[in-house]
Amino acid sequence: MGAQLRVYKRRIRSVTATKKITKAMEMIAASRVVKAQRKVRASAPYATELTRAVTAVGTGSNTKHPLTTEAETPTRSAVLLLTSDRGLAGAFNSNAIKAAELLTARLEAEGKEVDTYIVGRRGLAHYHFRERKVVESWTGFTDEPSYADAKKVAAPLIEAIETETADGGVDELHIVYTEFVSMMTQTALGDRLLPLSLDEVAEEGAAKGDEILPLYDFEPSAEDVLDALLPRYVESRIYNALLQSAASKHAATRRAMKSATDNAGELINTLSRLANAARQAEITQEISEIVGGASALADATAGSDR
């Protein structure tokens, strides 16, 4: 076998192996998307009921709470960025990071200091490499986040927002995550979580066709209920964002691995054609060598006959 042909054969073998791996990863991601979507759906009843309750307190009483009142001049914001622990998901992480950077730039332009909180190794690595300050970070659960993980993430954020700004607290809390729109579409977006504008929550409820909420009797009191409710609301929103990010990440992985598999297939086709051409060239050369040799021999014998 010629050297050229051997090189092609070797490359075809290696690309075939890669294709098998990407194909397997694609299928794993596909099954995980379904599981992650199911988790998003399973968490929906809690989130809906909680939103209803928050709306009820917000509209049914005129209670003021640090988590719902806007500071007159917000000076510091917290941004929570949700990325994944592992890559191989196309532009998933860079889109989320880009969205966070846009949001940070906007907040800084408004004259606010920005504290960054990060979930996921990818985002953390990005910030560490650029030597930017990260207040707190969590890794290790982005593939399958549990409610306990959401609580863990929410705790320092709630604490920060409850602290006075002068003592190192923050006035606003933003969250950047990747919304799972469909299997094909996932969009990175930044949302303001706190201070909560109750009108917005109420509008959201109204948009879903909710009936007018009745006047509630609060047990023990509206303030206490709101006190207990809002941290749960934040946790539930973070939990939902974590789940959506996980689902989006798996969908992005699936898509990236699918195109990797397709590309590997194309590459194998091209390489096979090149290998065939190389083999054919080799054969042609051999034949022409033989023919050339034979005719040279024939010429030589014809010459000696004379």
Partner 1 sequence: MAAELHVELVAADRQVWSGEATLVVARTTSGDIGVMPGHQPLLGVLESGPVTIRTSDGGTVVAAVHGGFISFADNKLSLLAETAELSDEIDVQREERELERAKAAGDATAERRADVRLRAATAR
Binding residues for partner 1 (CB under 8 A): 39, 42-43, 45-46, 49-50, 52-53, 56-57, 60, 146-147, 150-151, 211, 213-220, 224-225, 228-229, 232, 235-236, 239
Q: How far is the CB of 235 from partner 1 (least distance, A)?
A: 8
Q: How far is the CB of 7 from partner 1 (least distance, A)?
A: 54
CB distance 152 to 164 below 8 Å: no
* Residue 223 DSSP SS3: helix
Structure-block tokens of residue 229: 């409710």
Q: How far is the CB of 228 from partner 1 (least distance, A)?
A: 5
Q: How far is the CB of 272 from partner 1 (least distance, A)?
A: 49
Structure-block tokens of residue 42: 């399973």
Question: 120 φ, ψ to 5°?
Answer: 105, 140
CB distance 174 to 77 below 8 Å: yes
- Measured in whole angstroms, the distance separating CA 123 from the mean position of its chain's CA atoms is 10
* 79 closest CA partner among 173, 162, 154, 158: 173
* CB of 198 or CB of 218, closer to partner 1: 218
Q: How far is the CB of 29 from partner 1 (least distance, A)?
A: 22
AA letter at 211 = E
Q: How far is the CB of 219 from partner 1 (least distance, A)?
A: 3
Structure-block tokens of residue 13: 């073998």
* CB of 170 or CB of 196, closer to partner 1: 196
b/e sequence 118-138, b meaning 16+ C-beta within 10 Å: bbbbbbbebbeeeeeeebbbb
Give the separation between CA 179 and CA 188, rounded to whole angstroms. 6
* CB of 236 or CB of 248, closer to partner 1: 236
Give the separation between CA 17 and CA 264, rounded to whole angstroms. 9
* CB of 44 or CB of 105, closer to partner 1: 44
* CB of 199 or CB of 224, closer to partner 1: 224
* CB of 211 or CB of 305, closer to partner 1: 211
Residues near 119 by beta carbon (within 8 Å), at least 6 away in sequence: 80, 81, 82, 83, 137, 138, 139, 142, 153, 242, 245
* CB of 50 or CB of 267, closer to partner 1: 50
Give the separation between CA 25 and CA 96, rounded to whole angstroms. 22
Q: How far is the CB of 225 from partner 1 (least distance, A)?
A: 6
